[in-house]
Structure 1
Amino acid sequence: MTTLAPTLSHRYLPRTASWVRDLFLIVAGSLLVAALAQVEILLPFTPVPITGQTFGVLLIGAALGSKRGAASLMLYLAEGAFGLPFFAGGVSGFGILTGATAGYLVGFIVAAYVIGLLAERGLERSVRTSMLPFLVGTVIIYAFGVAWLSVVLGGIGKAIAAGVLPFLIGDAVKLLAAALVLPIAWKLVK
């Protein structure tokens, strides 16, 4: 049986009552992703903007772990769906969950969960090992995003051209940034 390592949040808030800590971290995670979603670059050739959301998803999954990371992203989607201006560009509403970016948004939940599982095994502690969870998470987000975008745009080729290729460099930068941030955070709390 594999012993799970504590996540960064367990190390940082070890003595807080668990349900209070969990609630605080889940809400804080959703608010971080909402804030990063407002960092947006619109591209004229795709309906999917470059945003800071994915960077937030990577950080939240690794820092909060699988269950709290996924819960944080579920809360984020609920907050935006029910009218808070939390999605990219400050938009909200249920329509976003059926629009061109819906697959990416759903993929955020799965990515945060899987990144969290890998982080619970200690893979986010060094720059070298943290690349794996963040790469896997990014691939999951793309897989969900492209699957849905191919329905919206009428083909997988169109979905890859509009929903992956324009974002590869930006997502590589976000992946590297997350791979640098988490190990530094671990050094600060040790």
Structure 2
Amino acid sequence: MNFTQTDLKGCFIIQPKIFEDNRGYFFESFKGNLLSEALGYKINFIQDNESSSKYGVVRGLHIQRGEFSQSKLVRVLSGKILDVAVDVRKDSPTYGKHISVELSSENKTQLFIPKGFLHGFSVLSETAVVFYKCDANYDPASEDSCHPLDEELNIDWKVPVEKMTLSDKDQNAKRFSEFNPY
């Protein structure tokens, strides 16, 4: 596995070593000791999530607070997405900055997002199945969100606005200037 630190400290792009032959392919999608070594601390994932979405769906930007704050390891089982992480860590020099990474079933690239980040994605293919590991359980009372189309964040979701589909929750989410992750 190859771990590449992004411009946002703690976020890593992970590219597995893929073994292909005439039968198909094989790769290790997760190896805890290697991820912990790259991060510099032990990670313990306890919940797996999977979603299926159609082209133009934008999910996020979401975060869990307090003891339910989550690190995530995101990958795509089928299709293609643009995965986005926004730094909202207190006193971070990159507070309010974001990264976006194209993840697909073809490139098999993964994104590790540490605690303290808003997370979301847009679907760039006809459909996409997204799978991610979390190191804390989901708790509805600890969830918060920020509007994915907020002008201050200026995220290019790679989907025309008129083709986007957002949940009611995401359409009614706070603007970044109103968002307080603490």
Structure number with the bigger relative contact order (C-alpha 8 A, sep ≥ 6) is: 2
On whether the aligned pair clears a TM of 0.5, the verdict is no
Structure in which a larger fraction of residues adopt strand: 2
TM norm structure 2: 0.31
TM norm structure 1: 0.30
Structure in which a larger fraction of residues adopt helix: 1
